[in-house]
Amino acid sequence: MIAFKNTNLKQFFTILLLFCVFFGYSQSAKQLELENRRQEIKREIQQYESMVSQGRKDERSLISILEDLNYKATVRRNLISITNQQANLLTREINNNQKTITKLRDRLTLLKEEYAAMIVKSYKSKSEQSKVMFLLSSSNFQQAYKRLQYIKQYADYQKKQGEEIKAKTIELQALNQNLLKQKQDKEVLIKENRLAKDKLEQELKQQEVLVASIKKDLNKYTSQIKVKQQEIDKIDKQIAKIIRDAMAASNVKAGKSKSSKTFALTPEDRKLAASFTANKGKLPWPVKHGLVKVRYGIQKSPIDRTVPIKSNGVRIVTNKGEKVRAVFDGIVHSIFIPKNGNNAVLIQHGNYFTVYKNLSKIDVKKGQRVSTNQELGEVLTNKASGEAMLQFSIFKNGDTQNPAHWINKM
pLDDT of residue 122: 59
Amino acid found at 44: E
Characterize 169-207 residue by residue with b for buried, 16 or more Cβ atoms within 10 angstroms of its Cβ, and e for exposed: eebbeebeebbeebeebbeebeebbeebeebbeebeebb
pLDDT of residue 213: 79
pLDDT of residue 335: 96
Secondary structure, 3-state, 292-357: EEECCEEEECCCCCCCEEEECCEEEEECCCCEEECCCCEEEEEEECCCCCCEEEEEEECCEEEEEE
- 3-class DSSP state for residue 290? strand
pLDDT at 376: 98
pLDDT of residue 185: 84
Rounded to an integer, what distance in angstroms lies between the CA atom of residue 299 and that of residue 292?
Answer: 14
Check residue 362 and give its pLDDT. 96
Inter-residue contact 320 to 55 (CB < 8 Å): yes
Q: How far apart are CA 400 and CA 352, in angstroms?
A: 10
Q: Domain 265-405, CATH 2.60.120.560 — does that match?
A: no
Convert 301-339 to b/e letters by CB count within 10 Å (16 or more is b). Answer: bbbbeeeebebbbbbbbbbeebbbbbbbbbbbbbbbeee
Residue 16, burial from CB neighbour count under 10 angstroms (0-12, 13-18, 19+): middle
Paired residues of 381 in beta bridges: 388
DSSP 364: -
| DSSP element (H, E) containing 375 | strand 375-379
Query: Cβ(391)–Cβ(310) under 8 Å?
Result: no
In degrees rounded to 5, what are phi and psi of residue 159? -65, -45
Q: Exposure string (b/e) for 23-53, b if CB count within 10 Å is 16 or more?
A: ebeebeeebeebeebbeebbebbebbeebbe
Task: Say how far apart CA 241 and CA 208 lie, in whole Å.
Answer: 42
pLDDT tens, per residue, the chain with 410 residues = 444 345 554 554 555 555 555 445 455 788 888 888 888 888 888 878 777 665 555 445 667 777 788 888 888 888 898 888 888 888 888 888 778 778 777 877 777 777 677 666 655 555 444 555 555 676 776 776 676 676 667 666 666 766 777 777 787 777 778 777 878 888 888 888 888 888 888 888 887 887 787 777 778 878 888 888 888 899 999 999 999 999 999 999 999 998 899 999 999 999 999 999 999 999 999 999 999 999 999 988 877 778 888 999 999 999 999 999 999 999 999 999 987 667 999 999 999 999 999 999 999 999 999 999 999 999 998 887 778 999 999 999 999 999 999 999 89
Please name which of 221, 153, 183 lies closest in space to residue 6, comparing C-alpha atoms: 153
All structural domains of the chain with their residue ranges:
2-215, 265-405
Q: Which helix (H) or strand (E) holds 152?
A: helix 141-215
Cβ neighbours for 250, distance < 8 A, ≥ 6 positions apart: 263, 264, 265
Burial class (CB in 10 A: 0-12, 13-18, 19+), 14: exposed
**Spatial separation of the C-alpha atoms in residues 389 and 380, rounded to whole Å:** 7
Structural contact between residues 387 and 373, judged by C-beta atoms closer than 8 angstroms: no
> What is the three-class DSSP state of 390?
strand
Partnered with residue 185 across adjacent β-strands are none
